[in-house]
A and B are shown apart, each in its own frame.
Chain A
Amino acid sequence: MKRFAALIDRLIYTRSRNSKLALIVDYLRHTPDPDRGWAIAALTESLDFPAVKAGTVRALLATRVDEELFRLSRHFVGDTAETGALLWPDAPGAKDDPSVSQAVDALASATRSDAPAVVAGLLDRLDADGRYALLKLALGGMRVGVSARLAKQAFAQAFDVPVDDVEELWHAIAPPYAPLFAWGEGRAERPDLADVAFFRPFMLAHPLEEESVDLADYAAEWKWDGIRVQIVRGGSETRIYSRGGEEISTAFPELVAAFDQDAVIDGELLVRGDAQGGEAASFNALQQRLGRKTVSKKMLADYPAFVRVYDLLGVDGEDLRALPWEARRAKLEAFMPRLAASHFDLSQVIDARDFEDLAERRAGARDAAIEGVMLKRRDAPYVAGRRAGLWYKWKRDPLTADCVMMYAQRGNGRRASFYSDYTFGCWSDGGELLPVGKAYSGFTDEELKWLDKFVRDHTLNRFGPVREVEKSLVLEVAFDSIHASKRHKSGLAMRFPRISRIRRDKPAEEADRIVTLLAMAT
């Protein structure tokens, strides 16, 4: 447990992604099976011990520590696992430091009735850092900033294998991933994935920077503003994966139930909106359905989900990814009638005469859920990641608004000494400045220095890491779209806001009004 505890501690305090990656790589290379597999599963929140809950730990602590002192400590520390780790009295004598897999075995076989004794037995064998690691392992909520994607990259880097292969294999193999490590270290063949609903890494697009492309070589489709998903049926199981390879099946049970064909599709998950006459609603509506472990009937009725299908990666046991787009498209069109039209429709190819015609249609697109245009090379196979020249995304021109800087916050890592995150607002009818968004990109390093100095020279108030500034600087903010939102006082939420220009020339009174922004809302 010592190595795992040290890893968690370093990850907590390390902010840079590359440094986190290096720490995990080192851990995976130098830790034996099955500990490293359990550890990586714990980091990516892939473990669950139903018999051990926060209540178990609280009740257990009450047997060793005065309840009032626990309550005061918990209030101060703000986290049950950490409070427990610090409060648990050190057991006398040498600690034998159980391994991660011993801990996992004990926690997994615990029942509700013997869980307190099992956890107590483990805690007595650990020091404070080890106890923290154990309680986080048992309760989840690691919060060390390690996504499934980062873990897979670390694995690929640790054993010098292609990350695409790791992506595919990862979801097909259960923790502690022994066959995966055996393959990574060259001790075994690549595991066989027949009859498993495994994840295929997504093909991604570069932003279009060319002046134009020839539509004889490229097909155009609308780029929909939902979440990119892959739905896979293998064996007798259906799984839905998000772009990062996280499984999100439980959040969309109606889609899992409706997808009854042996196939793999790539598409955009959207929800239908009343305001859109049952057509795709804005991303804001879809957000109601994201990140949920269970879904209520009301959610299902209010925000019905469907998938607009872009591509067919496999069907009836055949892998289609090596085929050119045109051939896959023909198979997709033939396949679509096999899916329920209530939950799946086909992403239409835009029938543009030439690039100029396409540009006009893009400019004229008013649909709430359209983010722009995709251009796909007609002869390109489906390959993982971004490859030059194969797929382009051509987003709609951003909207802009002139806003006034209100608050600034320091950044992270390289930007820790700079005020680099800005909250900005627009004027209400009553002449009050209300926050409409927050941005931390879009400026050059030179502009950042200038903005940082502006914040320091115009601070009105300090609230911890946040400074309130004099309401005098106008920022031109670019954003992809804007939506009504009850969560914000201004009633608006921007999508992808970034600073496009610093308007030193413009007086704050002349910044935009909330009503102007409301008129842009979709």
Chain B
Amino acid sequence: MAKTKTWIEPHPHGIHVKPADVWIDPSRPVARAAVTHGHADHARSGHASVYATPETLAIMALRYGVDAEASHNAAFPYGEGFERGGVRFSFHPAGHVLGSAQILMEYQGERIVVTGDYKRRADPTCARFEVVPCDIFVTEATFGLPVFRHPPTSDEIAKLIGAVRAEPDRSVLVGAYALGKAQRVIAELRGAGWTAPIFIHGALEKMCNLYGVHGIDLGELRLVSDTDKAEMAGQIIVAPPSALNDRWSRRLPDPVTAMASGWMRVRQRARQRMVELPLVISDHADWDELTATIAEVNPKETWITHGSEDGLLRWCELHQRKARALHLVGRDLEEEA
């Protein structure tokens, strides 16, 4: 079996797969990038070649102008991949957002999985996380502290619907990250029987359309900018978090400010953001999911990237698991969690 440290090398700006000269989620332009998913802290513009799932490539085309059709880029559906420099790369569902993938690399009998971001619970907008056995498991740790335990999503959605019905003269404005969280909140609402039109901020329109093209039915969406104020009373509005307390929100009927994020578990965090209705809905694994996943994958070694590395590292130590923190830079999309 190959010696791990000789063929894969973590750097502050990404993970370098040396025999293939491919970088995983590099934060600066490189010749060849394998990208786990479309969020800006993992997918950057400017790479000569991008390898990703078809959905992720489509998202990168929309957000960063990457040419998804160009021959120097390549799209691989889940379970498929490519070989380069003796390394076999393949993409497997991570359950984070549409198109999100774990990347499995096999080289001389050794298997390494880089999760990117992931979660374990069901999400109507993307394929569910699959456990991929490996020797080295490179896991995210956004919520790597035992205070983070996300409640059932259905409870949070029920809270949201309850708040709209409680004050029919007002509206509820949900802050949700533009890629993934916004579409998931909308899809979860549909699943809970909310059939009324959902009003969206203009910044969400293209991404919601892209989800539609990929078969995710979000029901009737209308733009806030095309709607009279009075029409939105008793309705749900979805906008990027940055719009919550911005001038834009003045066009809504007396909105109750909600925010869908795993950070909402901590009361003072929610207060600082001036949120009135915190919704603990996250696209990242919570503490129990992180620790259960490590136990289930059962790697020889766990590498921990971005988030509360110290907490997860401590857990590994307590459970006699070999682990290290990678300290990658630029992985701090707080709004997206």
Please report A residues at the B interface, Cβ cutoff 8 Å.
9, 12-15, 65-66, 68-69, 72-73, 76-79, 82-83, 86-87, 128, 132, 410, 412, 416-417, 452
Partner of B265 from A66, A86, A412 at Cβ < 8 Å: A86
Residue of A nearest to B257 (CB): A416
11 A-B pairs, CB-CB below 8 angstroms? A9-B267, A12-B271, A68-B314, A69-B314, A72-B308, A73-B311, A77-B147, A83-B147, A410-B245, A412-B274, A416-B274
Contacting pair A86 B147 (CB below 8 A): yes
In the complex, whether B64 has a CB less than 8 A from a CB of chain A is no
List the 7 shortest-distance A-B pairs measured between CB atoms, nearest first: A86-B147, A73-B147, A13-B276, A416-B245, A73-B145, A68-B314, A72-B311
Residue in B267, B277, B278 with the greatest tally of chain A CB atoms within 10 Å = B267
Binds A, one of B25-33, B52-60, B246-254: B246-254
Contacting pair B266 A82 (CB below 8 A): yes
In the complex, whether B146 has a CB less than 8 A from a CB of chain A is yes
For B314, list chain A residues within 8 Å (CB): 66, 68-69, 72
In the complex, whether B239 has a CB less than 8 A from a CB of chain A is no
In the complex, whether B207 has a CB less than 8 A from a CB of chain A is no
Contacting pair B277 A76 (CB below 8 A): no
Asked if A69 meets B311 with Cβ closer than 8 Å, knowing A12-B271, A86-B147, the reply is: yes
In the complex, whether B149 has a CB less than 8 A from a CB of chain A is yes
How many chain-B residues does the 8 Å CB contact rule pick out? Answer: 28
Seed contacts A87-B146, A410-B274, A417-B246; 10 additional CB < 8 Å A-B pairs: A13-B271, A13-B277, A15-B276, A65-B146, A69-B145, A69-B311, A73-B147, A76-B266, A77-B268, A79-B267
Q: Which of B234-275 contact A (CB under 8 A)?
A: 245-247, 249-250, 257, 265-268, 270-271, 274-275
Residue of A nearest to B271 (CB): A12
Contacting pair B267 A69 (CB below 8 A): no
Contacting pair B149 A86 (CB below 8 A): yes
For A82, list chain B residues within 8 Å (CB): 266-268
In the complex, whether B315 has a CB less than 8 A from a CB of chain A is yes
For B147, list chain A residues within 8 Å (CB): 73, 76-77, 83, 86-87
A28 CB to nearest chain B CB (Å): 19
Asked if A13 meets B275 with Cβ closer than 8 Å, knowing A83-B147, A86-B147, the reply is: yes
Contacting pair B311 A417 (CB below 8 A): no
**Given the complex of chains A and B, what is the CA–CA distance between A281 and B69 in angstroms?**
79
Q: Which of B304-337 contact A (CB under 8 A)?
A: 308, 310-311, 314-315, 318
Contacting pair B268 A69 (CB below 8 A): no
Asked if A73 meets B268 with Cβ closer than 8 Å, knowing A13-B275, A412-B274, A417-B245, the reply is: no
Partner of A76 from B145, B247, B271, B315 at Cβ < 8 Å: B145
A61 CB to nearest chain B CB (Å): 11
For B247, list chain A residues within 8 Å (CB): 417, 452
For A128, list chain B residues within 8 Å (CB): 149
Contacting pair A15 B274 (CB below 8 A): yes
For B271, list chain A residues within 8 Å (CB): 12-13
B172 CB to nearest chain A CB (Å): 13
For A452, list chain B residues within 8 Å (CB): 247
Q: Which of B132-181 contact A (CB under 8 A)?
A: 145-149
Residue of A nearest to B145 (CB): A73
A11 CB to nearest chain B CB (Å): 11
**Given the complex of chains A and B, what is the CA–CA distance between A132 and B274 in angstroms?**
20
Residue of A nearest to B276 (CB): A13
For A65, list chain B residues within 8 Å (CB): 146
Residue of B nearest to A76 (CB): B145
**Given the complex of chains A and B, what is the CA–CA distance between A73 and B266 in angstroms?**
11
**Given the complex of chains A and B, what is the CA–CA distance between A12 and B246 in angstroms?**
22
Asked if A79 meets B268 with Cβ closer than 8 Å, knowing A13-B278, A66-B318, A69-B146, the reply is: yes
**Given the complex of chains A and B, what is the CA–CA distance between A165 and B277 in angstroms?**
36
For A66, list chain B residues within 8 Å (CB): 314, 318
A103 CB to nearest chain B CB (Å): 20
Residue in A13, A76, A77, A452 with the greatest tally of chain B CB atoms within 10 Å = A13
**Given the complex of chains A and B, what is the CA–CA distance between A65 and B287 in angstroms?**
14
**Given the complex of chains A and B, what is the CA–CA distance between A63 and B270 in angstroms?**
29
For B310, list chain A residues within 8 Å (CB): 72
B88 CB to nearest chain A CB (Å): 37
Residue of B nearest to A12 (CB): B267
Residue of B nearest to A127 (CB): B151
For A69, list chain B residues within 8 Å (CB): 145-146, 311, 314-315
**Given the complex of chains A and B, what is the CA–CA distance between A14 and B163 in angstroms?**
13
**Given the complex of chains A and B, what is the CA–CA distance between A87 and B148 in angstroms?**
9
For B270, list chain A residues within 8 Å (CB): 13
A467 CB to nearest chain B CB (Å): 13
Contacting pair A78 B276 (CB below 8 A): no
Partner of A72 from B145, B268, B318 at Cβ < 8 Å: B145
B180 CB to nearest chain A CB (Å): 24
Contacting pair A417 B250 (CB below 8 A): yes
**Given the complex of chains A and B, what is the CA–CA distance between A461 and B328 in angstroms?**
27
**Given the complex of chains A and B, what is the CA–CA distance between A72 and B149 in angstroms?**
16
**Given the complex of chains A and B, what is the CA–CA distance between A375 and B246 in angstroms?**
46
**Given the complex of chains A and B, what is the CA–CA distance between A86 and B247 in angstroms?**
35
Contacting pair B145 A417 (CB below 8 A): no
Residue of A nearest to B311 (CB): A72
For B249, list chain A residues within 8 Å (CB): 417
B159 CB to nearest chain A CB (Å): 11
**Given the complex of chains A and B, what is the CA–CA distance between A78 and B265 in angstroms?**
13
**Given the complex of chains A and B, what is the CA–CA distance between A23 and B93 in angstroms?**
45
B107 CB to nearest chain A CB (Å): 35
Residue in B148, B249, B266 with the greatest tally of chain A CB atoms within 10 Å = B266
**Given the complex of chains A and B, what is the CA–CA distance between A76 and B307 in angstroms?**
12
**Given the complex of chains A and B, what is the CA–CA distance between A121 and B306 in angstroms?**
37
